[in-house]
Chain A
Amino acid sequence: MKISTIKHTTNPEVKILAEVVLMKGNEAVGEAAIRAGCRYFFGYPITPQNEIPEYMAKRLPEVGGVYVQAESEVAAINMVYGAGGAGGRVLISSSSPGISLMQEGISYLCGSEIPCVIVNMMRGGPGLGGIQPSQSDYFQATKGGGHGDYRLIVYGPSSIQEMVDIMFRAFSVAEKYRNPVMILGDGMLGQMMEPVSFPGETPPPDPRSKPWATTGNRGGKSRLLSSIILDPEGLDAHNWKLQEKYRRAQEEEVMWDLEKAGDAEWFLVAYGTMARVCRAAMAMARREGIKVGLLRPITLWPFPKQAFEAVLPHAKGFLCVEMSTGQMVEDVKLSVEGKAPVYFYGRTGGAVPAPKGVLKRIKDMVSGKTPSITDYYDRVAGGELK
């Protein structure tokens, strides 16, 4: 649905920028991928991301692409391996339990250096958990997830527009590093609707233009995509080559946002949906005269340590807020290096911390009282839950 039409532009080639549409997050993910040149999608149904495969099933054939519904997430990620290895620009999406099933394949993708973009619309766990938004797959996404020494480049967008913008970036970064990139959303970002515009169109790359892709040797030297290296010296060398790539990503790909950081004494640290809640809490705190800023990591790996270095000289404390029992807070502590106190507040299972709850913890932090890490503990302490 179009809600407005023309933005001012003198460039006839960026017409598409003028179009603002109201879209559901999951559908915007699909459209953004197609406009970023993705023509292959392999999926398996799981809530709350079903609109992504549904959208791709409808749209990809219209642009000459391919949608395959796999027999499982295990098969789907291995189809991505084959398709990415054959030089296709490939997207796959799932939600937490399905992403767990993909960990083996993700490890192989990293070992064989095959690029792709993976979307995880996180829901509550562990196990089958629930279908409401959560951020409890942070460890899995940023610390490896599968076996072996590897990293994903992980983005945690906090709006549908940002998710769309990052999708374009994600494919080029994946291909630049020959490594999977993950967009770590949550059920809220997937299910909500927002106005969004698409930054142009990128044509799909020719699979045969990639000098490493297995497209048939055409009489030349045969190519191989493999992750098995039985010689210890060889595997050691391969691992350090991967690490060199990750080191480069830590230099070149880090993204973060700082809001009201200029005069801030206290910082909220949050990503994705939680950053939006924190923005509201920050406004409430500021109305009460508390100088609060928001530090929002956009790349979750590489983690934006630089952002902390910038604000540490005037930061009295950090409050990390997550829809988990505390995962990103470990990276916050590593970045702060004990130079300021770090607190945590979180809820899980689809319960989303409310601005009021965040405000309460901000006040605790400011008054020198250690904020309780969750409402649940408050209720236990208050005798409500015994």
Chain B
Amino acid sequence: MKAIYERPRALKDVVTHYCPGCTHGIAHRILAEVIDELGIQGNTVGVASVGCSVFAYNYIDVDFQQAAHGRAPAVATGIKRVLPETIVFTYQGDGDLASIGAAEILHAAARGENITVIFINNAIYGMTGGQMAPTTLEGMRTTTTPLGRQPASQGYPLRVSELLSTVEGAAYIARCSLHNAANIAKAKASLKKAFETQIQKKGFSFVELLSSCPTNWGLSPQEALKWIEEKMIPVFPLGEFKVKEGEVR
């Protein structure tokens, strides 16, 4: 008998704390698969951020540091500068990365810091209970945009992949989605490419993953996946925005 599907070694055999229908589990799984396939589990340090994925180290079986809110790229910079041959990644949500940590992510990219960033964009603050995020869509209701996000007073969603793709130090920038199997396969391929970018010392690599938050969106898990496809992708188009230096697709 041949095993065709099993738990990746880099994914711990534990129950996660994530809500039913949340795509963090999928993101963790493909991350662990990539770590296994690249054979880097013993030589990787992850940086967990502040948000629902604050306990990522309980699930991904590599050395981890827990960073302050928004500071994961700075923490990763410190680790990478001491251990340049060790693979270093951050795992951050949209509030962490695009709001409070906007300076840290931008300058890590500008320095061409040779780290990989996994950016979970679910257009909302999940852990604190569904407040407006920098990526919240126009008109989208959250606990702090009870009438829907009004651009006149609450601004517009931030497109981080597009923004970072203008930065010279960035070597690989892609946005993928976790709403169906085909897109999950593409997301995994992009994650692998991002880690390979780091292994080849090409510089900063970044993969944005459009993710669901059924609990705070007030949708069922199935409806939430449909919502990604119908509402989020038109605002956050998928694709590779930058591959290697200077090459834009």
Listed in ascending order, the chain A residues whose CB lies under 8 Å from chain B are 40, 42, 66, 68, 70-72, 74-76, 78-88, 90, 104-105, 108, 112, 207, 214-220, 222-228
Contacts and interface: CB of A to CB of B under 8 A. Distances in A.
A290 B47 CA distance: 61
B57 A226 contact: yes
A226 B86 contact: no
A304 to B, nearest CB: 33
Contact of B47 (A70, A71, A82, A216): A82
Contacts of A104: 68
14 contacts: A71-B106, A75-B104, A78-B71, A82-B65, A86-B78, A214-B64, A217-B62, A219-B42, A222-B64, A224-B57, A225-B64, A226-B57, A226-B64, A228-B66
Given A216-B83, A218-B43, A226-B66, A42 B78 contact: yes
A71 B108 CA distance: 9
A216 B63 contact: yes
B99 interface: no
B71 A75 contact: yes
B101 to A, nearest CB: 9
B42 to A, nearest CB: 5
Contacts of A220: 42
Interface string B44-87: 11011000001101000111111110010011111111110011
Given A112-B66, A217-B62, A223-B63, A79 B78 contact: yes
Given A75-B103, A207-B83, A214-B65, 4 more contacts: A82-B67, A83-B78, A83-B82, A225-B66
Contacts of A78: 67-68, 71, 74-75, 78, 104
Contacts, number: 140
Contacts of A71: 103-104, 106-107
Nearest to A80: B78
Main secondary structure of the interface of A (DSSP, over half): mixed
Nearest to B73: A75
A184 B39 CA distance: 46
A81 B75 contact: yes
Nearest to A71: B107
Nearest to B78: A82
A86 B85 CA distance: 12
B181 to A, nearest CB: 30
B71 to A, nearest CB: 4
A226 B41 CA distance: 20
Given A222-B62, A225-B66, A214 B78 contact: no
B45 A214 contact: yes
A106 to B, nearest CB: 10
B39 to A, nearest CB: 11
A79 B78 CA distance: 4
Nearest to B12: A222
Nearest to A218: B42
A82 B68 CA distance: 11
A89 to B, nearest CB: 9
A104 B63 CA distance: 23
Which of A40, A68, A85 is packed against the most chain B CB atoms within 10 Å? Answer: A85
A38 to B, nearest CB: 12
Which of B43, B77, B86, B106 is packed against the most chain A CB atoms within 10 Å? Answer: B77
A215 B66 contact: no
Interface in B102-118: 103-104, 106-107, 111
A81 B67 contact: yes
Contacts of B86: 86, 215-216
A226 B65 contact: yes
B248 to A, nearest CB: 25
A81 B107 contact: no
Contacts of A225: 64-66
A209 B74 CA distance: 24
Contact of B66 (A74, A76, A87, A224): A224
B103 A227 contact: no
A70 B66 CA distance: 20
Contacts of B80: 82
Given A40-B82, A226-B64, A216 B74 contact: no
A217 B81 contact: no
